[in-house]
Amino acid sequence: FPAYFTAIFIITRVMSIMKISKPLDIHHKDIRAVDLATKLSVDPSAIESASRDFGGIVKAEPEAVLHPSAPQDIAALIKFSYSNSVPFGIAAKGHGHSVRGQAMAENGVVVDMRSMANNRRNGTGIRISIDRLYADVGGEQLWIDVLNATLEYGLAPVSWTDYLYLTVGGTLSNAGISGQTFRYGPQISNVLEMDVITGKADFLTCSPRMNSELFYAVLGGLGQFGIITRARIPLQPAPKGVKWVRLLYDDFSSFTKDQELLISKNGRKDKSALDYLEGSLLMDQGSPDNWRSSFFPHKDHPRIISLITKHGIIYCLEIVKHYDDRTKHTVDKEMKQVLQGLNYMPGFMFGKDVGYEEFLNRVRSGELKLKSQGLWDVPHPWLNLFIPKSQISDFNNGVFRGIVLERNITTGPVLVYPMNRQKWDDRMSAVIPDEEIFYTVGFLHSSGFDTWEAFEDQNKDIMRFCNKTGILAKQYLPHYSTKEEWVHHFGSKWKVFQHRKYQFDPRMLLSPGQRIFNNN
Ligand code: FAD
């Protein structure tokens, strides 16, 4: 009895706040109002948590938060909004690790996807097919849980992000990139099929052969076309451990030449092929280590720091080769072959041998350390870009050695590493430069609560520099505030993107926090 009235109270309140004029019919078969209402929360702490993200810069309050226990709850919510005369925005929130409010829904409803974690009974969770080498994974699952579940069978996905406390639905809505991307493609290139609830509340399975338009729309689709409730991820036998090497360069051209040489060898049979390649800048930040991973032996810190002081910026190439029981005796020899002929600074090669899981989950210890110091939940004015290979040297001169050194405020990791266009599928929504090799550059700033604007100014300066000098940079994890900017971002893909929106979410309900179709 009390639950019934609480439910009616909540849904009536939500509807009145949303100014939905249609009278509430709790017996309506589509809405199944009482079921839905018990899962809708207007609790201030739920609202507060759905109004924030990792970026800590944008704040937008929803009217309610849905805690679904099964995909059917999400479908009912979408149907409710879709069929209403005044529809409201709906945003799936995975782990809320966006930096610009992308998972928020101002005055709408945020779907807390994590409520469905471990709900195997209702069709989500993680289920592994050992025979067919894939995992069926709920969109709400964290990649760390996918890793742990698959490792139990000696298997693992091949394409990762640097940090694993992100949801499958969240990274597939962007791309999911890391040092494996040059070899295996981004995570969106490693999906066999998905279950998706569209903006019309259609619950569809899609793959390259079935509902393929929806499949490609959703991959890199910034949550615009549907909510991913399941993804089928291919698996391979997991390696046991990794040989992990970092090489330092004072010369950008040698650094990128070596990176490009190394990613050109990515064939499975090529013994000098690597399993992972990234790169980053070392700048005067007190220590050559940062939260992304602590790597360099302490005894070497002073000489690395004096190198940084001398050159302003040192470039760090990071590579990995996997090994298993069969290859553990030959991997050192193979790594030696990889290193031959590279132009890093003599004496500045550092190596480690760690377990596979420890390597993949390398960011976690830095996160926990920062959390314990109260430095994790601070503003993160990040800027992530894709830069064509032909313009990366101009970018180094104008941005790394220009804007960044001049402003001298950069804190946190700055990543720079190449990937191959051929490992991406142009039918997917993700936007990348129009060159066979392009670099990702990530400024992963942490700032104080009252200093993030200085980083924002630097980000704007960088974008202005690119525009002025004709560097065809594309934002990764993009955020824009006007339609014109979005049209420019998508370029030749805009028409298809827009057409797919009309097809799968004609009432523009989904992921309003991206501000693509509702940015008036
Ligand atoms: P959220 O922030 O919750 O959501 C992101 C977007 O996806 C929103 O628009 C949301 O509505 C939509 N969405 C969420 N779930 C679903 C779903 N099930 N179906 C449809 N749409 C959905 N990215 C990389 O590629 N490589 C990295 O190495 C990397 N490292 C990172 C490290 C840190 C510390 C952080 C904070 C972020 C990192 N990212 C990286 C970025 C990250 O991949 C994206 O921000 C991603 O969206 C975060 O996932 P999430 O689950 O938190 O998504």
Please, what are the domains in the chain? 2-115 (3.30.43.10), 120-237 (3.30.465.10), 240-372 (3.40.462.10), 378-478 (3.40.462.10)
131 is known as an active-site residue: no
Query: 463: which 2 tokens?
Result: 């974008």
Q: Write the pLDDT tens digit of every residue in 245-296.
A: 999 999 999 999 999 999 998 666 676 689 999 999 999 877 888 877 789 9
Q: Write the pLDDT tens digit of every residue in 347-404.
A: 999 999 999 999 999 999 999 999 999 999 999 999 999 999 999 999 999 999 999 9
- Residue 45, pLDDT > 70, answer yes
With cut-offs at 50, 70 and 90, classify the pLDDT of residue 7. Answer: low
**What pLDDT is stored for residue 1 in this prediction?**
40
Q: What is the DSSP string of 374-412?
A: T-SSS----EEEEEEGGGHHHHIIIIIIIIIHHH----S
The residues facing 321 across adjacent strands are 243
Please state, for a pLDDT cut of 90, what percent of the chain lies above it: 85
Choosing from 63, 73, 95, 97, which is the catalytic residue?
A: 97
Q: What is the DSSP string of 98-114?
A: -SSSTT--TTSEEEEGG
The pTM assigned to this predicted structure is 0.94
How close is the Cα of 323 to the center of ligand 1, in Å?
A: 30
97 is known as an active-site residue: yes
How close is the Cα of 166 to the center of ligand 1, in Å?
A: 6
Q: Are the C-beta atoms of residues 393 and 256 closer than 8 Å to each other?
A: yes
Please state, for a pLDDT cut of 70, what percent of the chain lies above it: 91
Average pLDDT on 128-141 reads 97
Handedness of CA 93, 96, 97, 101 (dihedral sign): positive
Closest ligand 1 atom to Cα of 367: 34
How close is the Cα of 336 to the center of ligand 1, in Å?
A: 36
Give the up-direction half-sphere exposure of residue 78: CA atoms within 13 A in the CB hemisphere.
28
Nearest to 250 by CA among 302, 306, 300, 312: 312
- Residue 5, pLDDT > 60, answer no
Q: Where are the beta strands (DSSP E) in 177-240?
A: 193-198, 203-206, 226-234, 236-237
Ligand 1, atom 36, residue with closest C-alpha: 97
Query: 120: which 2 tokens?
Result: 């195997």
- Residue 100, pLDDT > 90, answer yes
CA distance linking residue 500 with residue 496, whole number of Å = 6
Strand, coil or helix: 187: helix
Handedness of CA 357, 363, 367, 369 (dihedral sign): positive
What helix, strand, coil percent values describe the chain, rounded to 5? 35, 20, 40
Query: 174: which 2 tokens?
Result: 């962007």
CA distance linking residue 289 with residue 295, whole number of Å = 6
Q: Write the pLDDT tens digit of every residue in 420-430.
A: 999 999 999 99
| Maximum distance among all Cα pairs of the chain, rounded to whole angstroms | 76
How close is the Cα of 94 to the center of ligand 1, in Å?
A: 7
Q: Are the C-beta atoms of residues 73 and 109 closer than 8 Å to each other?
A: no
Question: Can you give the C-alpha Rg of the chain in angstroms?
Answer: 23
140 is known as an active-site residue: no
- Residue 63, pLDDT > 90, answer yes
Handedness of CA 492, 497, 499, 500 (dihedral sign): positive
CA distance linking residue 87 with residue 324, whole number of Å = 54
Average pLDDT on 471-497 reads 97
**What pLDDT is stored for residue 270 in this prediction?**
73
**What pLDDT is stored for residue 136 in this prediction?**
96
Q: Write the pLDDT tens digit of every residue in 27-43.
A: 455 545 547 888 999 99
Q: How many residues does the chain have?
A: 520
How close is the Cα of 368 to the center of ligand 1, in Å?
A: 19
Pocket test for ligand 1, best of 53, 109, 143, 163 (most atoms within 8 A of CB): 163
Ligand 1, atom 7, residue with closest C-alpha: 170
How close is the Cα of 450 to the center of ligand 1, in Å?
A: 25
CA distance linking residue 361 with residue 368, whole number of Å = 12
**What pLDDT is stored for residue 248 in this prediction?**
97
With cut-offs at 50, 70 and 90, classify the pLDDT of residue 18. Answer: low
**What pLDDT is stored for residue 44 in this prediction?**
97
**What pLDDT is stored for residue 14 in this prediction?**
60
CA distance linking residue 361 with residue 323, whole number of Å = 17
Closest ligand 1 atom to Cα of 229: 18
CA 62 to chain centre: 23
Residue 410: what residue type? T
Ligand 1, atom 10, residue with closest C-alpha: 103
Q: C-alpha angle with apex 302: 296 to 308, nearest 5 degrees? A: 85
**What pLDDT is stored for residue 20 in this prediction?**
46
With cut-offs at 50, 70 and 90, classify the pLDDT of residue 10. Answer: low
Ligand 1 binding pocket (C-beta < 6 A) is 53-54, 91-98, 102-103, 113, 139, 161-163, 166-167, 169-171, 173-178, 222-223, 227-228, 477, 511, 513-514
CA distance linking residue 257 with residue 396, whole number of Å = 14
Average pLDDT on 159-172 reads 98
Choosing from 195, 258, 278, 318, which is the catalytic residue?
A: 278
Pocket test for ligand 1, best of 57, 77, 93 (most atoms within 8 A of CB): 93
How close is the Cα of 308 to the center of ligand 1, in Å?
A: 33
**What pLDDT is stored for residue 412 in this prediction?**
86
How close is the Cα of 79 to the center of ligand 1, in Å?
A: 25
CA distance linking residue 239 with residue 202, whole number of Å = 40
Pocket test for ligand 1, best of 66, 95, 124, 161 (most atoms within 8 A of CB): 161
Average pLDDT on 98-117 reads 96
**What pLDDT is stored for residue 23 in this prediction?**
37
CA distance linking residue 113 with residue 456, whole number of Å = 30
The phi, psi pair for 442, rounded to 5°, reads -125, 120
Instruction: Please write down the HEC assignment for all residues of 252-294.
Output: HHHHHHHHHHHHHCCCCCCCCCCCEEEEEEEECCCCCCECCEC
Q: Are the C-beta atoms of residues 236 and 147 closer than 8 Å to each other?
A: no
**What pLDDT is stored for residue 38 in this prediction?**
87
CA distance linking residue 61 with residue 65, whole number of Å = 10
**What pLDDT is stored for residue 286 in this prediction?**
73
Query: 259: which 2 tokens?
Result: 């990176």
**What pLDDT is stored for residue 265 in this prediction?**
81
Kindly report the average pLDDT of the chain as a whole number.
92
Q: Are the C-beta atoms of residues 105 and 59 closer than 8 Å to each other?
A: no
Choosing from 136, 140, 162, 318, which is the catalytic residue?
A: 162
Ligand 1, atom 27, residue with closest C-alpha: 161
Average pLDDT on 185-200 reads 98
Ligand 1, atom 37, residue with closest C-alpha: 97
Q: Write the pLDDT tens digit of every residue in 204-223.
A: 999 999 999 999 999 999 99
129-136, long-range: CB within 8 Å, 24+ apart, which pairs? Answer: 130/155, 133/234, 133/235, 133/236, 134/192, 134/232, 134/233, 134/234, 134/235, 135/232, 135/233, 135/235, 136/230, 136/231, 136/232
Q: Where are the beta strands (DSSP E) in 130-234?
A: 134-138, 155-156, 193-198, 203-206, 226-234
**What pLDDT is stored for residue 292 in this prediction?**
74
Q: Are the C-beta atoms of residues 39 and 110 closer than 8 Å to each other?
A: no
Among 24-28, 83-87, 461-465, the range scoring the smallest mean pLDDT is 24-28
